[in-house]
Amino acid sequence: MTVNVGTMDRLLRVLLGLVLLYLAFFSGYPLFAGGLVKYGAALVGVVMLVVAATRSCPIYSILGIRTCRRA
């Protein structure tokens, strides 16, 4: 896999992933009480964390986008 996610992008993805997981499972907001929104937010949160951990975004690869410096 090609590295195509930069440091700032990676930090934002970690933050977004953690916020979505918090909202899905611990917030208690009525919007996240339903199954579709709750598990949708959890899925997106996990995907954001996986992309941040691997530093490779499949959508960026398809579109030819890189937010990191060339090695």
**Of 29-33, 37-41, 65-69, which has the strongest mean pLDDT?**
37-41
Q: Are the CB atoms for 24 and 45 separated by under 8 Å? A: yes
Mean pLDDT, the chain, as a whole number? 93
CA atoms within 13 A on the CB side of 41: 19
Residue pLDDT, tens place only, 37-50: 999 999 999 999 99
Query: Is the full-model pTM beyond 0.85?
Result: yes
Domain ranges of the chain: 7-63
Mean pLDDT in residue range 48-70? 93
